A and B are shown apart, each in its own frame.
Chain A
C-alpha cells in the first residue's frame, strides 16, 4: 500500500529556519510535491522533486531521498506570512497524487 507521514504541527520563530519532514511508503514513484495552504484557502504549489537531491527556490528548498522514502521542506528566514499548513503529496505509479494530512506551521514573533 501507500502511506505518507508528516508531523501534525510545528512551531518556529520569525527569522529562524524550520525543516518539515515527510516520509512515505509506495510501490511506485513518479515524484513528490509540496504545497502550501493558508487557513481557509486553496493549496498552492511550492515544489516538485523527482530525482534525489535538493531543489532551491528562494527561501524555500525541498529535498528528496528515494531510497529512504524521505523528503523535507526547508523554510529559511521565516516570516509571519509563512504560518500555514504544508502538504506533502506523492505521485504514484498510476500518476495519482496521494496526499499527506499536512503539517500546520505556527510562526511566533
Chain B
C-alpha cells in the first residue's frame, strides 16, 4: 500500500545547483500538491496540479518548477538552489479538490542548501 512516495529523503545542495524532487502516487488521484514546511510556520503551497498536463502556482512558487505528464507523477524542480529553499518538502495528493476530500502526504524530503 504505497500511497504517496517521494524521493530523496535527504539532500544537501550547494548554492546554484539544481535538483528534482520526485513524487509518485498510486491511488489514481487527480490532484497533486507540493508544500514546503519551515520551522514554526504552516505548510505553504508551492505548486499544485488538478490533472495530467495541468499545473498552477500556489502561494510560494518562485524558484521552483513542476510538470505533470502523467496522473501518477508530479516532480518538483529547483533550478538555482538558494539558502532560502532550505526546508522540508512534502508532496501530497487527493482524489479531487472538493470539500472534505482528504489529502494524503508523502514522507517528506529534507533539503539543505549551503
Using an 8 Å CB-CB cutoff, how does the interface string of A47-66 with B read, 1 for contact, 0 for none?
Answer: 01010000000000000000
Contacts A4-B42, A87-B42 given; does A31 touch B99 at CB 8 Å = yes
Kindly specify which of B19-27, B62-70, B71-79, B104-112 makes contact with the partner chain.
Answer: B104-112
Q: How far is the CA of A8 from the CA of B39 in the complex (A)?
A: 11
A73 to B89, CA, bound (A): 26
Q: How far is B108's CA from A100's CA once the two chains are assembled, in angstroms? A: 18
B100 contacts the other chain (CB 8 A): yes
B43 within 8 A of A: yes
Would you call B99 and A99 a contact (CB within 8 A)? no
Stretch in A12-20, A36-44, A75-83 with 4+ CB within 8 Å of B: A36-44
User: Is there an interface contact between A48 and B43, defined as CB atoms closer than 8 Å?
Assistant: no
Contacts of B40 in A (CB 8 A): 8, 101
| B43, A87: Cβ atoms closer than 8 Å | yes
Seen from chain B, the residues whose Cβ lies within 8 Å of a Cβ on chain A are 40-45, 58, 90, 97-100, 102-108
Write 25 A-B pairs (CB below 8 A) sorted by A numbering: A31-B99, A33-B102, A33-B103, A41-B107, A41-B108, A42-B106, A43-B43, A43-B90, A43-B105, A44-B105, A45-B102, A45-B104, A50-B99, A87-B43, A91-B99, A95-B98, A95-B99, A96-B58, A97-B43, A97-B103, A99-B42, A99-B43, A99-B44, A100-B42, A101-B40
